[in-house]
Amino acid sequence: MAKSAPKIIISRIIGFIIFLILLVIANVLIPVFNSNVYSDIVNFFNSNIILLLMLTLVGLINEIFWSFYFPFNIIAPITGSILSAYIITFIHRFFDFLNTYFPSSIILPWQTIQFIVFWIVLIAGYLTILIRQGKPREDWHEEMKKWHEQRWERKREKLKKKMEKLDRKLGKKQMKWEDVGNEFKHLFYNIGKSINNLFDKDKKKRK
């Protein structure tokens, strides 16, 4: 079953609150560690708290739309594309932050990357809706699981019938060979009996 909107909202809010608590604890520990690297990392997250809040909010809206059936999930690819743009922005900022410690001559076209990813996510989103026949991910996976189980069950039944048919054929062949074996037994018995009778006649003639 697809997640309900209240469950999604609660889980996302709880996740962000936990992140804020950890960030507050990290800020409190800055004097304890007395490290420039540690304080820079914490300050990086402090300065990007609005962006992280937007990521959480857009991600929440995106997940809610994806939990709906068609046509209510038709906005989901758009929210997914917006979310991807925010993610690329965060990666860009994190990459610039790393450059302060690990200078690099690599210059990436972030705006181009953001534009390309935006449209890829948008197109992929609508294709996903078509493939899933407008159903939420959990319901689609559940249906696909049942379909695969039914498919394997049909294959197993076919294989079982083939094996039973083969067993019947082998059983008939076995019965036929047993009959042939019995015929040979009777044949050799009669031959042996005839030979014994001949020897008995010869013995009587000699006497």
**Beta carbons of 125 and 81 less than 8 angstroms apart:** yes
pLDDT at 7: 83
Q: What is the mean pLDDT of residues 69-86?
A: 90
Enter the tokens of residue 73: 């999930």
Instruction: Specify which of 65-69, 108-112, 154-158, 191-195 reaches the highest per-range mean pLDDT.
Output: 108-112
Q: Which domain holds residue 106?
A: 5-135
Evaluate whether residue 114 is within a structural domain: yes
Task: Share the mean pLDDT of the chain.
Answer: 80
Evaluate whether residue 55 is within a structural domain: yes
CA distances from 2 to 59, 61, 100, 150, 153 (A): 16, 15, 44, 22, 26
pLDDT at 1: 47
Q: Domain tally for the chain?
A: 1
Q: What is the mean pLDDT of residues 171-188?
A: 55
Evaluate whether residue 84 is within a structural domain: yes
Enter the tokens of residue 202: 């010869």
Evaluate whether residue 62 is within a structural domain: yes
Percent of the chain with pLDDT over 70: 73
Evaluate whether residue 69 is within a structural domain: yes
Evaluate whether residue 195 is within a structural domain: no
Q: What is the mean pLDDT of residues 51-63?
A: 91
Evaluate whether residue 81 is within a structural domain: yes
Evaluate whether residue 113 is within a structural domain: yes
Of 20-29, 138-147, 169-178, which gets the smallest average pLDDT?
A: 169-178
Question: For the whole model, what pTM was predicted?
Answer: 0.63
